[in-house]
Structure 1
Amino acid sequence: GKPKDVVLGIALLKMSVKDNKPYAYFLGSQQDLSKVNILVRSKAAEFMKFAFRQVAVCVEQKPISSRWDENVDFLVHGVKVGQLAMVCVSSANYPGARAVRIMKQQLGDIFPKLPTQWAEIKSDQQIVSLDLKEFSLDKISNVEQLQIELQETKQLMTENMNLILNRGNKLNDIVKDSEDLSQSAKDFLGETKKLKRCACFTL
């Protein structure tokens, strides 16, 4: 079966330049491919390493969540602070906002503990210990669960509305004119769509 609601791997990388092009070197990574079919496990590990490095290079100072391909049931999430990037690969259903929040938190915890020479590193290293356990949905709080369900409900509503739109009508106009939505709900939908536009892209 397909992995469901899990983070399969995480990596910390340092921005650099190689052959006059932006490049990222590993400072540490951890993978758990036990939920991936054993026949494709080695390929999945290669893909993950490739994904970690590519996303680290292209992520800006704002988080991203990206689907590599419509046929691939995995998402890649990345955050960058200064010259450090943290990237994780999750199953498609794992809440992206949660992945980004945990990575930001881990980056903040790790930075003061890095050896002083980390900025000079010019090869892949394993100098940082990373923990996937923090991403487990078993640790999720009631408030977080509520936020996830609200996000899923909003996404479902948006998709359904797009399906039934009359020709020439735009979702923005329908939301604005709706008597069923409070002003705060309208603001929430509008703000979320803005965030989605600036935070998501397809490689």
Structure 2
Amino acid sequence: MKLYSIAVLHKNTDSGDVKILKTAFDLSSFSFFQRGSVQEFMTFTGKLLVERSGLGARSSVKENEYLCHCYVRNDGLSAVCVTDAEYQSRVAMSCLGRVLDDFTAKIPAIQWPAIKTDKDCTYNGLGELLAKWQNPRDADPMTRVQEEVEETKIVMHNTIQSVLDRGEKLDDLVKKSENLSDQSKLFYTQARKMNKCCNYV
């Protein structure tokens, strides 16, 4: 799972013009000679998505093995990130929301019109957020909980399997059990013979 870039942009609510305020990239998985072109294409795609999105919109667009996630707030402040296909859309949208909240806290809206290029923007937290969100488990509590639930499912499944694989014969255990009535034992025996309702045992 990989997060390649995050960009903060502003869409003018009157004219619809979009300008890039700040960008951060992690293109280490691309060859040195590809990085410039990849960065340009990611920037171009992000700007295009913000231009074509309405205020308050969230969208994810797939291009080959990459996903471009876009969030445009009602005030026009927008964020775009490019990820691989394994990176969950929910996590990407959480990341973009946090990026915009952090940007707004450090760069007030009154300063946005004065930013003409990436270098004019004094916001320096984007690189840190890009690094932090490379591992959604650390950055997003919901991902951590979801993974723990999945691990619990696997552990429970393995425990059931280990009980069934111990070599004990379930038939013998049923016959010896004092907790089962004769009727239940008969039902189990008949079901085993018919191989219908108790075939999971």
Report the TM-score when normalising by structure 1.
Answer: 0.60
Give the AA of the match of 1:16: N
Aligned pairs for 1:161-180 within 5 A: none
Superposed displacement of residue 113, structure 1: 1.6
Secondary structure, counterpart of 1:110 in structure 2: helix
Gaps of 5+ in 2: 150-201
Superposed displacement of residue 149, structure 1: 9.7
Gaps of 5+ in 1: 151-203
Question: Do structure 1's residue 12 and structure 2's residue 8 form an aligned pair?
Answer: yes
| Cα distance in 1, alignment partners of residues 81 and 148 from structure 2 | 22
Q: 1:122 to 1:144 in 2, by over 3 A?
A: closer
Q: 1:56 to 1:143 in 2, by over 3 A?
A: closer
| Cα distance in 1, alignment partners of residues 32 and 19 from structure 2 | 28
Residue of structure 1 in register with 2:45 after alignment: 51
Counting aligned pairs with the same residue, the percent is 21
Secondary structure, counterpart of 1:13 in structure 2: strand
Larger Rg: 2
Give the AA of the match of 2:93: V
Aligned pairs for 1:22-171 within 5 A: 22-60=16-54, 61-68=56-63, 72-81=64-73, 82-115=75-108, 117-121=110-114, 123-126=116-119, 127=121, 128-129=123-124, 130=126, 131-137=129-135, 139=138, 143-145=142-144, 147=146
* Contact persistence 1:11–1:86 (CA under 8 A): yes
| Cα distance in 1, alignment partners of residues 147 and 53 from structure 2 | 24
Give the AA of the match of 1:31: F
Q: 1:121 to 1:76 in 2, by over 3 A?
A: same
Superposed displacement of residue 65, structure 1: 0.8
Report 1 or 2 for greater relative contact order, CA contacts < 8 Å, sequence distance ≥ 6: 1
| Cα distance in 2, alignment partners of residues 104 and 142 from structure 1 | 14
Superposed displacement of residue 94, structure 1: 0.9
Q: 1:103 to 1:142 in 2, by over 3 A?
A: closer
Give the AA of the match of 1:47: F
Superposed displacement of residue 134, structure 1: 2.2
Report the TM-score when normalising by structure 2.
Answer: 0.61
* Contact persistence 1:25–1:125 (CA under 8 A): no
Q: 1:142 to 1:117 in 2, by over 3 A?
A: closer
| Cα distance in 1, alignment partners of residues 15 and 140 from structure 2 | 42
Give the AA of the match of 2:96: M
* Contact persistence 1:11–1:87 (CA under 8 A): yes
* Contact persistence 1:78–1:88 (CA under 8 A): yes
| Cα distance in 2, alignment partners of residues 149 and 95 from structure 1 | 16
